[in-house]
């Protein structure tokens, strides 16, 4: 790259203002083309064809856009998930793709643990019901309510975040089961959890199930009607991973109404912001039957002031390494 020439790096969209941090990392020999749009239809062929690299936040990236990335050396997603990225089209075009896994681990693990502890101790339900108590204040204990040392937490996916959750659970005395076929034998000994050989074993033994796996062909709809049915009666489910893991709100509503599922906490949904559904109406209207039993946070488990900066810097560093060295760290292949 000569002094007169500049690399061109596109950024589709951003949730935190202008890409100034990225510009600092990418350096003066990079021109940033900030699309400032999540609407893929607005990405013009002329702008796409100029790009040496593309960074994606919340926009979709499909074959119609990828066809115009004629000089693109790589696509980098700011986040971890990549359900909106057409990996097959990128592979056909010979364009490598990377996500950004090395940020926010502490935040998601903390968020999951906060959900686990709050639902296990029935704090949200206590709060919801205590508003109507007018006498006998202290006698309104909610049952059943077990000690943490008598409860088992099943962790589905024991990678970076799942491991961080395991490490946070152990001081509270929970028995921890882990299920992750991708981890090598002995991983459970190094981290300190009991390995479940089958998913059904974990579902049937766990008082609390927390999800920390990607959305793939094997995991999408993992907890549908059949999956909820395999849970231990009275279990709690926490999902800070991908919305597609619990993609059937009808099944979730039925499991909660029947009491087979004691409570659920969800940070990610298939549709965001969530649309209209009987379960979501009951949640929004604070219906009595659901009081404190369904907790929904707006897909912000990843967030802290520090993590937001870390995410942006790490994604930009990945692009800078690609431009300098021709290699794409954290490269992902099609796992659909």
CATH number reported for the structural domain that contains residue 319 in this entry: 3.40.50.720
CB atoms within 10 A of CB 97: 23
Q: How far apart are CA 313 and CA 25, in angstroms?
A: 7
CB atoms within 10 A of CB 25: 17
Does 235 or 80 have the greater pLDDT score? 235
Q: What is the pLDDT of residues 50-76, one digit of tens each?
A: 999 999 998 999 999 999 999 999 999
Has residue 73 been placed in a domain?
A: yes
Has residue 179 been placed in a domain?
A: yes
- Assigned token pair, 240: 């800070």
* Residue among 209, 213, 207, 110 at smallest CA distance from 167: 110
Has residue 26 been placed in a domain?
A: yes
pTM of the model: 0.89
Please indicate, yes or no, whether residues 15 and 122 belong to a single structural domain of this protein: no
Contact (Cβ atoms closer than 8 angstroms) between residue 97 and residue 72: no
- Position 2 scores a pLDDT of 53
- Position 238 scores a pLDDT of 98
Please indicate, yes or no, whether residues 126 and 272 belong to a single structural domain of this protein: yes
- DSSP output for 22-40: HHHHH-TTEEEEE---S-G
Q: Give the sheet arrangement for strand 194-195, strand by strand.
A: 194-195, 175-179, 152-156, 208-211, 235-239, 261-266, 294-296
Residue 313 sits in which domain range?
Answer: 7-103+305-332
Please indicate, yes or no, whether residues 80 and 123 belong to a single structural domain of this protein: no
User: In which band, very low, low, confident or very high, does the pLDDT at 15 lie, cut at 50, 70 and 90?
Assistant: confident
Structurally, the chain folds into a number of domains equal to 2
Has residue 153 been placed in a domain?
A: yes
Q: How far apart are CA 221 and CA 243, in angstroms?
A: 9
CB atoms within 10 A of CB 62: 14
Alpha-carbon torsion (286, 287, 291, 294), positive or negative: negative
Please indicate, yes or no, whether residues 99 and 113 belong to a single structural domain of this protein: no
Please indicate, yes or no, whether residues 163 and 253 belong to a single structural domain of this protein: yes
- Position 207 scores a pLDDT of 98
Q: What is the pLDDT of residues 165-179, one digit of tens each?
A: 999 999 999 999 999
Cis peptide before 144 (omega within 30 of 0): yes
Write out the catalytic residue numbers: 242, 272, 299
Please indicate, yes or no, whether residues 154 and 226 belong to a single structural domain of this protein: yes
Q: What is the pLDDT of residues 111-149, one digit of tens each?
A: 999 999 999 999 999 999 999 999 889 899 999 999 999
Contact (Cβ atoms closer than 8 angstroms) between residue 47 and residue 90: no
- Position 334 scores a pLDDT of 67
Q: How far apart are CA 15 and CA 22, in angstroms?
A: 13
Please indicate, yes or no, whether residues 314 and 290 belong to a single structural domain of this protein: no
Residue 325: phi, psi to the nearest 5?
-115, -10
| Percent of the chain at pLDDT exceeding 70 | 98
**Backbone torsion region of residue 241, taken as left when φ is above 0, otherwise alpha when ψ lies between -120 and 50, otherwise beta:** alpha
- Position 45 scores a pLDDT of 97
Has residue 2 been placed in a domain?
A: no
Contact (Cβ atoms closer than 8 angstroms) between residue 115 and residue 238: yes
- Position 75 scores a pLDDT of 98
Please indicate, yes or no, whether residues 113 and 12 belong to a single structural domain of this protein: no
Q: How far apart are CA 35 and CA 32, in angstroms?
A: 9
Has residue 1 been placed in a domain?
A: no
User: In which band, very low, low, confident or very high, does the pLDDT at 80 lie, cut at 50, 70 and 90?
Assistant: confident
- Position 333 scores a pLDDT of 81
- Assigned token pair, 241: 């991973």
Pick the range with the lowest mean pLDDT from 15-29, 291-305, 316-330.
Answer: 15-29
Please indicate, yes or no, whether residues 99 and 78 belong to a single structural domain of this protein: yes
Residue whose tokens read 């941090």:
21
- Position 248 scores a pLDDT of 95
Pick the range with the lowest mean pLDDT from 294-298, 302-306, 320-324.
Answer: 302-306
| Pairing verdict, β 194-195 and 175-179 | parallel
Please indicate, yes or no, whether residues 185 and 235 belong to a single structural domain of this protein: yes
The distance from CA 252 to its chain's CA centroid, rounded to whole angstroms, is 18
- Position 336 scores a pLDDT of 52
Please indicate, yes or no, whether residues 35 and 130 belong to a single structural domain of this protein: no
Please indicate, yes or no, whether residues 54 and 171 belong to a single structural domain of this protein: no
Q: What is the pLDDT of residues 183-228, one digit of tens each?
A: 999 999 999 999 999 999 999 999 999 999 998 889 999 999 999 9
Contact (Cβ atoms closer than 8 angstroms) between residue 76 and residue 95: no
């Amino acid at each position: 790259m000569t002094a007169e020439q500049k690399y061109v790096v596109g950024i589709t969209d951003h949730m935190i203002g202008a890409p100034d941090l990225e510009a600092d990392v990418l350096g003066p020999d990079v021109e940033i083309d900030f699309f400032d749009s999540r609407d893929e239809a607005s990405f013009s062929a002329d702008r796409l064809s100029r790009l040496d690299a593309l960074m994606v936040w919340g926009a979709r990236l499909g074959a119609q856009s990828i066809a115009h990335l004629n000089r693109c050396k790589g696509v980098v997603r700011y986040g971890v998930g990549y359900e909106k990225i057409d990996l097959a089209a990128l592979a056909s075009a010979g364009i490598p793709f990377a996500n950004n896994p090395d940020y926010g681990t502490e935040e998601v693990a903390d968020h999951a643990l906060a959900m686990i502890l709050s639902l296990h101790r029935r704090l949200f339900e206590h709060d919801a019901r205590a508003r109507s108590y007018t006498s006998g204040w202290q006698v309104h204990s909610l049952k059943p309510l077990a000690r943490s040392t008598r409860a088992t937490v099943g962790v589905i996916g024991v990678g970076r975040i799942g491991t961080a959750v395991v490490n946070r659970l152990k001081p509270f005395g929970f028995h921890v089961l882990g299920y992750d076929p991708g981890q090598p034998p002995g991983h459970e000994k190094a981290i300190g959890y009991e390995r479940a050989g089958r998913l059904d074993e974990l579902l049937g033994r766990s008082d609390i199930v927390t999800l920390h796996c990607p959305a793939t062909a094997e995991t999408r709809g993992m907890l549908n009607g059949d999956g909820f049915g395999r849970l231990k009666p009275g279990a709690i489910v926490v999902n800070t991973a991908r919305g597609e893991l619990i993609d059937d709100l009808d099944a979730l509503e039925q499991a909660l109404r029947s009491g087979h599922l004691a409570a659920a906490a969800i940070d990610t949904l298939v549709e965001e912001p969530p649309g209209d559904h009987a379960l979501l109406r009951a949640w929004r209207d604070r219906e009595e039957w659901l009081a404190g039993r369904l907790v929904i946070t707006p897909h912000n488990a990843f967030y802290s002031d520090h993590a937001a900066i870390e995410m942006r810097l790490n994604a930009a560093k990945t692009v800078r390494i690609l431009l300098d060295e021709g290699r794409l760290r954290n490269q992902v292949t099609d796992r659909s």
